[in-house]
Amino acid sequence: MGNLEQRLSFTTLILLVCLTVSCNSCGNKDYSPKPRGYYRITFPAKSYQEYQGSCPYTFQYPVYSQITRDSSRDAQPCWLNINFPDFNGKIHLSYHSVDSRKIFNELVEDSRTFVFKHTVKATAIDEARIAYPDKKVYGIYYTIEGNTASAIQFFLTDSTRHYLRGALYFNEVPRVDSIKPVLDFVKKDIDVMIRSFKWK
């Protein structure tokens, strides 16, 4: 009889432990998943150097970037890439010499077309005018918000002979939440580039 009582009390104890665990695990209805985390990025100190190539323009660019000639099939001599190897991104620059008003208008319209191709995924597209009359540097700066392939595009011109278009791209799946810290960091470099830009 003592053995049976011991088995019953042991079974009762196990049942009580299981019930207690069940009750405690089911009582909290306020569960919410944790947000996705991203890698912490260490940014370099801001420092700039001057681009002095054979092209008819000059500007300041970051020391942690590298300038290379565009190697695509249709590239022209003064098409450059400002590469950011640590961020897997680049600013593509394409320069055109302008010899007629018609060509100038076509280039400006092409810039606008390239920007508005992102309308499908963009949540907003903002335009800001660029004007440095003392240097004869004018243009438009486009900020494209949303999960788009390019978040910043711009063009610079003297309105008569020179035209340069720039576009920032990251070699990543476009997720604005994950690239925002890097985007904000590189945006400051683009601002420095535009403010320091001069025609030769």
Tell me the DSSP string of 98-137. Answer: --SHHHHHHHHHHHHHHHHGGGGTEEEEEEEEEEEGGGTE
Better-predicted residue by pLDDT, 173 or 36? 173
All structural domains of the chain with their residue ranges: 65-199
Check whether 4 has a pLDDT greater than 60. no
Mean pLDDT, the chain, as a whole number? 85
Residue 12 has φ and ψ, to the nearest 5°, of -60, -40
The CATH number of the structural domain formed by 65-199 is: 3.40.1000
Residue 4: C-alpha distances to residues 1, 7, 16, 133, 195 (Å): 5, 5, 18, 100, 90
User: What's the whole-model pTM score?
Assistant: 0.76
Better-predicted residue by pLDDT, 91 or 146? 91
pLDDT in tens, 143-179: 999 888 889 999 999 988 999 999 999 987 767 777 8
Is residue 155 within 8 Å of residue 15, measured between CB atoms? no
pLDDT bucket at 48, cuts 50 / 70 / 90 = very high
Q: What is the model's pLDDT at position 65?
A: 97
Rounded mean pLDDT of 67-84? 94
Check whether 9 has a pLDDT greater than 70. no
* Alpha carbon 157 to its chain's center: 24
Better-predicted residue by pLDDT, 157 or 119? 157
Better-predicted residue by pLDDT, 180 or 24? 180
